A and B are shown apart, each in its own frame.
Chain A
């Protein structure tokens, strides 16, 4: 018999998971994503006006639905110039409050390596879904 997690339970699960600060970071190396990845797999971008983002619990919007999900306001990385060597961006990764890799994603292969210049913008819309 299949286990059922009701929507109200999903909301509770989301709240428990998200009740901590996460760090949203961009990585500059062409990392291969896989189940053995850790925070050390990625080289964080530096320079060019880059600053990592902190995702706080208060700003998550948890929606009761089927399945329930949580969204976070758009996070914009606006660059003021080229980034430090290698000057490329391949994707983003998120660390939990303990510095453990929560999840990571590479950008569309057609867009990488992305080489920011002054005025470049990367916008990430975080979302967590449980079903």
Chain B
């Protein structure tokens, strides 16, 4: 995380989970000052009161961007506990000296006391605290070309492993002859966590690149991805980050449309008789009644007679 041009600012270091190592960048424009820079690092797994370390004010004139007092890029400092387990300061004088005119590549702090022991790396760039300082600091060096045409492709998920994968593709023409060592993909979630999740080396003559990424399905968390080139050196260089891509990892492990379907069916047993005739004609041998109904195209319907032999009052022959 970086802040630009703020005279008093707080930089929260990104903590790599499980390592207690934090990296923070603080960049300022040329001529910025005075600046109070405070870095807070929380060691993984420890409560803030035990694992919180702050770098206190660096006095004016002793902070610049550049090398250490021996002319080396980067410097080593020992931070000692100020007694409250929260604030630490640099032992032996409270500052790390840098010659003006350069951007420091790193400050390495050995943290002692306060229940936290270990090495913490910082990458910092400070400006002068002197408001009358007329030194014109050069802009931070970066690689010239930013990876372009970044896209997400081949997004798939495995319901068995519950892992989701995709490819980040981008283009890098090396038009400015940056000749980087490679490219890195950052994953940024909606909670502000930034995590490098993949990389690939630069290949001379190659312009199309692919970096595979993966994630486990987590609803409610959105992820964006950005790509930059990098180059090892003193200092290490990065390009500007590419356009951020939002990747929707919202693929359920099981998705089913539950369809409850039922059909109402049947035949109509009721027959409505219209225009029924009341005249009967006896037909020898006929064992059913034929009724004229004249319903639609149906003119007659035969009905069975349970017993065709009945005694009638008819007398005839």
Chain A positions near chain B (C-beta within 8 angstroms)? 1-3, 5, 13, 76, 78, 92, 94, 102-103, 105, 107-108, 111, 114, 116-117, 119-131
Contacts and interface: CB of A to CB of B under 8 A. Distances in A.
B162 A122 contact: no
Given A103-B258, A122-B252, 6 more contacts: A102-B260, A103-B260, A114-B253, A120-B253, A124-B257, A129-B261
A92 B216 CA distance: 24
Contacts of B257: 124-125, 127
A129 B263 CA distance: 8
Contacts of B175: none
A119 B258 contact: no
Interface in B236-271: 251-268
B259 A129 contact: yes
A105 B251 CA distance: 21
A92 B258 contact: yes
B254 A107 contact: yes
A7 B162 CA distance: 42
A20 to B, nearest CB: 14
Contacts of A105: 256, 258
B268 to A, nearest CB: 5
A123 B252 contact: yes
Contacts of B159: 111, 114
Given A2-B267, A76-B219, A131 B261 contact: yes
Contact of B259 (A2, A5, A116, A127): A127
A124 B258 contact: yes
Given A105-B256, A127-B257, A3 B265 contact: yes
Interface string B73-114: 000000000000000000000000000000000000000000
A118 to B, nearest CB: 8
B260 A111 contact: no
Contacts of A78: 219-220
Nearest to A79: B253
Contacts of B268: 1, 3
B69 to A, nearest CB: 50
Contact of B162 (A92, A117, A124, A128): A117
Contacts of A94: 258, 260
A76 B252 contact: yes
Contacts of B273: none
A34 to B, nearest CB: 16
A114 B254 contact: yes
Given A114-B254, A125-B258, A119 B217 contact: yes
B218 interface: yes
B106 to A, nearest CB: 36
Contacts of A131: 261, 263-264
B217 A121 contact: yes
B264 A3 contact: yes
15 contacts: A1-B267, A3-B266, A76-B219, A105-B256, A119-B216, A119-B217, A119-B218, A121-B217, A121-B219, A122-B252, A122-B253, A122-B255, A123-B254, A124-B255, A125-B258
Contacts of B259: 127-129
A124 B267 contact: no
Contact of A119 (B162, B255, B261, B267): B162
Nearest to B220: A78
A115 B251 CA distance: 16
A120 B217 contact: yes
B269 to A, nearest CB: 9
B253 A2 contact: no
Nearest to A128: B260
Q: Chain A CB within 10 Å — which of B216, B253, B259 has the most?
A: B253
